């Protein structure tokens, strides 16, 4: 049963130096966006989410969410719904009525069944990249026609299952196409089938996440010698190939590179259809990869801005000639997650204060191992859940893991932290606590969704329970204790 509480108002993000309260709403209605984009695709107001977040922290303390566990993770369900509406509205505003569109959430960004179910309720399907992610999508009730399978290493069994279910499949390479030849010949399928291409348009600032480099492992490299002609021939030889797919963006990739990748995809579709003498390619899967601003509460760039940039650069994408698939992940969920951890101890080393907390590498893996690429904001709260005040002091915010680099922030200016205080790490709704890293056998923390209650308070609903020690032992082979003797 969901619990409810009232939390004091007046503790919004604007009271804290490291969190900016924003009241403006981005419409993203740039040149070519059209009046509909401004009316129906506005990004959620940043200030509203920040106010809900601070109320949720106070409510989490008041309801005892941290009484038995020193670490909890929170998801703002109202914020998730607002982002989903902004996405669907942004593309609806620039596409002709009746254009087939599937917005599929990249499950890897938040592999939690309740999250997938919430997004399905918002009209968002699932993009999966493994048998495990497909199982999660099916458990959430995602329809086969609202599911897309992408992976550079699909097994024959995975392909066979997808084709039997009618799930869309994007082949990664020519060898996979040869496997599909045999499977398609062996049994009829309702699955739309396409090919992923690498437009080789270049890298962003984070090399490990740049999927459109000259040597990326993903897709058919479009600019390699002879590759384009061979790919056109592959489509002409396979009338059942009806889609093209690319994913040219991610965190650190500028909007212009995302758009350039989609432009290359559209040009290839036009070339294939001209060679076929018919509209063989009928759907373009443009992937996701819209970056997130981790420096503030603003949701920027907005989906409407991206849709407008696409329509200006690739007008043929919006004339009704092609159905459209998107695969956003981080940009839908990141801004709506919060890690909330207790400060257990404080100390000083080398003249610098250190706050030892229960949030570290297990919930912020990328930040700990690559802090320059994945810096996070840290919000300071007192033991009651109220934002801390006081003159900022440079201090390290450390996690619980047994290695020196387990740090959320170094020399971060925050009000002085003391044992019993709380630290909040916002923007963690995707790729942070949703995908746990089991260093030191640290258990998975509980995840709670939160939303405004009718009485003005905050209502929490459990989305994933905290992992107890018995479950952790079982996961580590506890039932097979003597197997290696």
pLDDT, tens only, 71-90: 999 999 999 999 999 999 99
Q: What is the pLDDT of residues 216-227, one digit of tens each?
A: 777 898 988 999
> Integer distance in angstroms from the first to the last C-alpha of the chain?
46
Q: Which residues, 6+ apart, have CB-to-CB distance to 341 below 8 Å?
A: 70, 71, 357, 358, 359, 422, 423, 424, 425
Task: Let me know: does 55 contact 385? Beta carbons within 8 Å.
Answer: no
Cα separation, 216 vs 172, whole angstroms: 12
Q: What is the pLDDT of residues 39-59, one digit of tens each?
A: 334 455 668 999 999 999 999
Q: What is the pLDDT of residues 164-214, one digit of tens each?
A: 999 999 999 999 999 999 999 999 999 999 999 988 675 566 566 556 566
DSSP state string for 188-233: -----EEEEEE------S-GGG--SSTT-SSSEETTSTTHHHHHHH
CA proximity to 174, closest of 254, 215, 231, 247 = 231
Q: What is the pLDDT of residues 190-201, one digit of tens each?
A: 999 999 998 867
Q: Clarify whether 73 is annotated catalytic.
A: no
Cα separation, 231 vs 218, whole angstroms: 15
Exposure b/e, 420-442, CB count within 10 A at least 16 = b: ebbbbbbbbbbbbbbbbbebeeb
The pLDDT value given to residue 205 = 61
Pairing of β 422-426 and β 337-349 = antiparallel
CA proximity to 425, closest of 405, 452, 445, 403 = 445
Pairing of β 337-349 and β 283-285 = unpaired
CA proximity to 28, closest of 248, 337, 311, 297 = 311
Cα separation, 339 vs 364, whole angstroms: 9
Q: What is the pLDDT of residues 429-442, one digit of tens each?
A: 999 998 899 999 99
Backbone angles phi, psi at 283, to 5 degrees: -140, 135
């Amino acid at each position: 049963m969901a619990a409810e509480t009232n939390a004091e108002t007046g503790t919004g993000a604007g009271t804290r130096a490291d969190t900016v309260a924003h009241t403006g709403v981005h419409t993203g209605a740039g040149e070519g966006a059209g009046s509909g984009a401004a009316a129906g695709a506005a990004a959620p107001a940043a200030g509203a989410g920040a106010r809900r977040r601070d109320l949720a922290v106070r409510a989490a303390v008041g309801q005892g969410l941290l009484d038995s566990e020193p670490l909890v993770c929170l998801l703002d369900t109202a914020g998730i719904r607002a982002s989903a509406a902004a996405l669907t509205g942004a593309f609806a505003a620039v596409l002709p009525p009746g254009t087939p569109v599937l917005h599929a959430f990249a499950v890897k960004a938040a592999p939690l069944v309740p999250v997938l179910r919430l997004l399905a309720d918002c009209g968002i399907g699932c993009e999966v990249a493994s048998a495990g992610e497909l199982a999660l999508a099916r458990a959430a009730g995602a329809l086969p026609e609202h599911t897309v399978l992408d992976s550079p290493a699909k097994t024959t069994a995975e392909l066979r299952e997808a084709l039997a279910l009618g799930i869309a499949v994007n082949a990664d390479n020519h060898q996979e196409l040869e496997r599909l030849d045999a499977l398609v010949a062996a049994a009829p399928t309702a699955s739309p089938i396409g090919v992923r291409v690498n437009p080789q348009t270049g890298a962003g600032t984070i090399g490990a996440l740049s999927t459109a480099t000259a040597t990326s492992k993903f897709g058919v490299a479009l600019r390699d010698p002879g590759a384009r002609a061979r790919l056109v021939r592959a489509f002409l030889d396979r009338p059942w190939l009806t889609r093209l797919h690319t994913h040219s963006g991610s965190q650190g990739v500028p909007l212009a590179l995302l758009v350039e990748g989609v432009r290359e995809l559209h040009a290839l579709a036009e070339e294939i259809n001209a060679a076929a003498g018919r509209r063989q390619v009928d759907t373009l899967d443009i992937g996701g990869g819209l970056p997130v601003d981790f420096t503030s509460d603003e949701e920027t760039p907005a989906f409407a801005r991206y849709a407008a940039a696409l329509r200006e650069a690739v007008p043929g994408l919006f004339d009704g000639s092609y159905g459209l698939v998107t695969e956003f992940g981080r940009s839908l969920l990141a801004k709506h997650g919060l890690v909330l951890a207790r400060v257990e101890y404080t100390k000083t080393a080398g003249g610098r204060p250190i706050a030892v907390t229960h949030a570290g590498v297990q919930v912020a893996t990328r930040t700990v191992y690559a802090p320059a690429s994945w810096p996070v904001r840290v919000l300071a709260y007192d033991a009651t859940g109220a934002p801390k005040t006081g003159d900022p002091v440079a201090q390290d915010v450390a996690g619980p893991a047994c290695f020196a680099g387990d740090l959320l922030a170094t020399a971060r200016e925050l009000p002085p932290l003391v044992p019993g205080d709380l630290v909040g790490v916002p923007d963690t709704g995707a790729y942070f606590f949703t995908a746990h890293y089991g260093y030191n056998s640290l258990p998975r923390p509980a995840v709670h969704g939160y939303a405004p209650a009718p009485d003005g308070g905050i209502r929490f609903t459990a989305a994933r329970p905290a992992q107890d020690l018995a479950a952790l032992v079982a996961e580590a082979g506890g039932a097979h204790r003597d197997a290696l003797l």
